[in-house]
Amino acid sequence: MEIVYAEMKILILLISIISIINQVNGQTTQCKDALKPWFDLTRVGIKISCFLNDGNILYARGQAAQDRGVFKATGSYSSVESIQEGCLGGKDQPFDINQTKPLFFDYSSFQIDSEGHVFMVPVGRPAVDVYVTECRGNIMVAFTTNGICTYHFSNKAYTNLGSESCQDPRNEPPVNQKAATFDTTLNSEWNENGKHYGMFSSIITNTGKVPFQGVVFSADLELRDPSSIYSAVAIVKGQWKLPSYVQSIQVGSTYHFSFIKEGKEIPTFRIDSFY
């Protein structure tokens, strides 16, 4: 009986370990997918926010340049903490911008690779050597022994904290760098059962800075019938997406589809989303 009980305990332990491994592997895959578009770029802006165990919050920002699959800091990343208080309007305020200080010594003090491995050596703080485990869009999260750190990726070239005046432009480009255009041509037209129809071809061009798998698009038009659009899949009336066999549309590449609709007017396609 004791032997059976011991074997059951070992089995439960093995199941728990396998479950944890599967969970970590899933998170790693998720983060790799989230990081992948950023590693198509050579330089990014990164905001770092760390919520420390003692209740202090640290914020820093700077730029990073890619070196063979690793983003490395290109500067010292000026930082400010919530415990650094200043007086504003006669009241104490956290994050006093006049008390900023460098977070890193040099480029080797902050690195993050395409696998999600983060290495940081903050000035005056313990080194951080972890993997990001929670990732959504352009935000990556890592759990450290001292707290939680988030890494917010952007295509903006961040300047040092405190170096911008209130009159400086803050035109941060959108994080989503995917973009596309539609070029539609009328190929032929005819009358059928008292209605005038046109045969059109359309070219989607990836004009963004990163590849995308597909695009959801819409237009105000009346197809001859629901099956009169080719190489595009209907979602609802007036909205379509690319077929599932399309794996990726690279930067500068094109995708062709065609359709038959009432009238000869060239429709205007709207991009609803990328995926």
Question: What pLDDT, on a 0 to 100 scale, did the predictor assign at position 35?
Answer: 87
Q: Is the pLDDT reported for residue 61 higher than 70?
A: yes
> pLDDT per residue over 214-266, tens digit each?
899 999 999 999 999 999 999 988 999 999 999 889 988 999 999 999 999 99
User: What pLDDT, on a 0 to 100 scale, did the predictor assign at position 19?
Assistant: 39
Q: Which of 84-93, 146-155, 190-199 has the lowest mean pLDDT?
A: 84-93
Residue 260 CB: number of other CB atoms within 10 A? 20
Could you tell me the pLDDT band of residue 18, with boundaries at 50, 70 and 90?
Answer: very low
How much is the pLDDT for 274? 87
Range of lowest pLDDT (22-26, 140-144, 192-196, 242-246):
22-26
> What separation, in Å, do the N-terminal and C-terminal C-alpha atoms of the chain show?
56
Domain assignments of the chain as residue spans, ordered by start: 23-154, 180-274
The model's pLDDT over 159-185, given as tens digits with 9 standing for 90+, comes to 777 666 665 555 544 555 888 999 999
Poorest-confidence range of 15-29, 45-59, 238-252? 15-29
Q: How far is 215 from 240, CA to CA, in rounded Å?
A: 8
Please give the model's pTM, rounded to 2 decimal places. 0.52
Q: Is the pLDDT of residue 157 over 80?
A: no
Residue whose C-alpha is closest to residue 103's, from 132, 81, 71: 81
CATH architecture of 180-274: Sandwich (2.60)
Pick the more confident residue, 95 or 143: 143
Residue 196 reports pLDDT greater than 90 = yes
Q: Which residue has the tokens 């001292």?
A: 146
Average pLDDT, the chain: 82
- Give yes or no for residue 29 having a pLDDT over 80: no
The Cβ of residue 199 has, within 10 Å, a number of other Cβ atoms equal to: 17
The residues, ordered by sequence, that sit 6+ positions from 1 with a Cβ below 8 Å of its Cβ are: none
21 confidence band (pLDDT: 50, 70, 90): very low
